[in-house]
Amino acid sequence: MIGRWAVGEATAGRILGTLPLPQPTVTAPTGVYRPSVDSAMLCRRMVNHMQTHPKGVTSVIELCAGSGIASVYAALAGARVTAVDDTRESVEAVAVNAASNDVTVDVVRSDVRALPRLDPADLVVANPPYVPAPAHMPDGHAWNAGPNGRSVVDSIIGVLPELVRPAGAALLVQSDVCGVTPTLSGLADRGFDAAVTDEVVVDFGPVMHERALWLESQGFIEPGERTERVVVIRAVRSTSAVPRGASR
């Protein structure tokens, strides 16, 4: 079901308040993405996946962790958790937020495009930067994701086969502004059965409003369009699937 939500922390708080877990205390200092509707949607789907999985979920990796809110929720749900982000501010924020909520989260500072070896997990989750940005803007910092908005999303898709155990799953949240179909196709190419599980139309936040005319000029949105569809995609790695183009 698609509704229309205002973007922001208040709406995120209302979503998180429906989860069957204590709502954690999470802080996000300057330079760290503050939990918003996309964060809450990811956490809601993640908790549901963890609590309904017939074999249970014992290990979780969060990429582009930001404040680490998903990592904290995963730890509260009983998983062994590794959080990954490429900035010092985010790594410190995850550590602080884990300690504040009395959970254990292993924190790794790394770009998703140059990950150290990580043990594959039952579940990998990510709320990556996905906002298209002019070429002169820095890539991958909180929301900027290159001229087509896909630089980080595509990098994550590329590493998922090494991070997700056979029969495990990944959950990604993104906007339709950077293209949902390419994400589904990229996951299928790597042996994942992927589908949109959650979606909602949200009003543009400050970053999207500021960039709206540029997004119009590049064809990402229609003239006057000031809403976007945010989706959660679940991708399940089959034990027998062969990536497209591979031989048996």
pLDDT confidence tier of residue 208, bands split at 50, 70 and 90: confident
**Does a structural domain hold residue 211?**
yes
**Does a structural domain hold residue 243?**
no
Q: How high is the pLDDT of residue 1?
A: 33
**Does a structural domain hold residue 193?**
yes
**Does a structural domain hold residue 247?**
no
**Does a structural domain hold residue 80?**
yes
Half-sphere exposure of 181 (CA within 13 A, CB side): 0
**Does a structural domain hold residue 59?**
yes
Kindly report, residue by residue over 56-90, the tens digit of the pLDDT. Answer: 999 999 999 999 999 999 999 999 999 999 999 99
Distance CA 85, CA 176 (A): 23
Of the two residues 146 and 70, the one the predictor is more confident about is: 70
Q: Is the pTM of this model over 0.85?
A: yes
| The total number of structural domains that make up the chain | 1
What residue numbers bound the domain in which 103 lies?
A: 4-237
- Residue 189's CB: how many other CB atoms inside 10 A? 14
Q: How high is the pLDDT of residue 244?
A: 44
CB-based burial, 151-178: b 16+ in 10 Å, e otherwise: bbbbbbbebbbebbeeebbbbbbbbbbb
Residue 45, domain CATH = 3.40.50.150
**Does a structural domain hold residue 58?**
yes
Q: How high is the pLDDT of residue 140?
A: 52
Q: Which two tokens stand for residue 136?
A: 């002169």
pLDDT for residue 2 is more than 50: no
Beta bridge partners of 231: 174, 199
**Does a structural domain hold residue 248?**
no
